[in-house]
Amino acid sequence: MKLNPNFYQGKKVLVTGHTGFKGMWLCKMLTMFGAQVTGYALESPTAEGGKVFVESGVEAGIHSIIGDIRDQEKLLQVFQDVQPEIVLHLAAQPLVIESYKEPVLTYETNVMGTVNILECVRQTQSVKSFLNVTTDKVYENKEWSWGYRENEPLDGYDPYSNSKSCSELVTHSYKKSFFMDGRCAISTARAGNVIGGGDFSVNRIVPDCIRAAFAGQDIEVRNPYSTRPYQHVLEPLYAYLLIAQAQYEDGKYADWYNVGPDECDCVTTGELVDIFCRQWSKEISWENVSVEGPHEANFLKLDCSKIKSRLQWQPHWHIEDALRETVAWAKAYQKGENIAKVMEEQIHEFLRRAK
């Protein structure tokens, strides 16, 4: 099965979290496919991110609504006005370290935000396909060397990971309680760590690398020996759109899916930064600044056999490719080049590779 861009031509698609890194790229893809896109989110969390959102051309190409996912009344009004056919839920408090600082906000956003969006889907007959984007961190992490499968226990450790486990369970309950009639297909997608141009989040390794490179400084790495399933942002976005399309056309594809890189691209943070330094410049380097901090998993992989088997999805860019495209985007941004054009070229190249 392949993603069919023509499927989205003219479709009414609602994307929550559209001002964020992943949401921006997702809306860019959807507008290129000819979808009628409505975005619902808070303002971009960083000034740099807000600038990128505007320069990407996404804001001008969609109906952008600034709102809080916790505001169910406003959210329901948007659903009633837009009458979306497909809903892609990305809005979240997405940072582990921030979740230790703001646990209540994290649970309110990630758990009750999911309740609110599903309640809107329940009350809006036009919605035929709903996808809740969660995270690879939803699993009870036992630090083992093989990938977690979709039937493993959900029990994230930190407030962020745990809130996303709860978001999964909320989705499962709503699906069983209200959508067994097949009126709307419901899925979740548990993605690994994503990288790519336009991510300026704090306490994320690749944005930290880019900020250091812009400043001509060495990169400070907190956890160089932790292993993560890194992938370019276009990898999971392709999967999200494929899932939404497949289950819209046939409800049998509605399910819970892991979305991650092949095992060869599950690398340590130190290895990731080594590749970044090689691709950026010979002059840049990094230093280990490991300090005691809040608990974070040291080893994490996903088993993606289900989505590969059922939907014939597979990764298309290895970690070197992902970082090459990220570095190219960042250097273009640094030079003041046309970011919208760079994004479109990278999407076209990715889709060409995916054929």
| Residue listed under structure tokens 């190409």 | 61
Summarised one tens digit per residue, pLDDT across range 200-242 is 988 889 999 999 999 999 999 988 998 888 999 999 999 999 9
In the chain, the domains with their CATH numbers are: 9-354 (3.40.50.720)
* φ/ψ of residue 340, rounded to 5: -60, -45
Q: pLDDT tens, 18-69?
A: 999 999 999 999 999 999 999 999 998 778 888 999 999 999 999 999 999 9
User: Phi and psi of 145, rounded to 5°?
Assistant: -90, -5
Mutual orientation of helices 339-354 and 47-55 as an angle, nearest 10°?
70
Q: How many CB atoms lie within 10 A of CB 340?
A: 16
Taking residues 335-348, report their average pLDDT: 97
Q: Does the predicted TM-score (pTM) go above 0.75?
A: yes
How does pLDDT run across 67-123, given as a tens digit for each residue?
999 999 999 999 999 999 999 999 999 989 899 999 999 999 999 999 999 999 999
Pick from 246, 257, 122, 238: nearest CA to 180: 122
Nearest to 279 by CA among 208, 228, 348, 330: 330
Give the integer Cα–Cα distance in Å for 36 and 138.
31
Structure tokens at 295: 């608990």
Task: Output b/e per residue, 270-300; b: 16+ Cβ within 10 A.
Answer: bebbebbbebbeeebebeeeeeeeeebbeeb
pLDDT of residue 296: 64
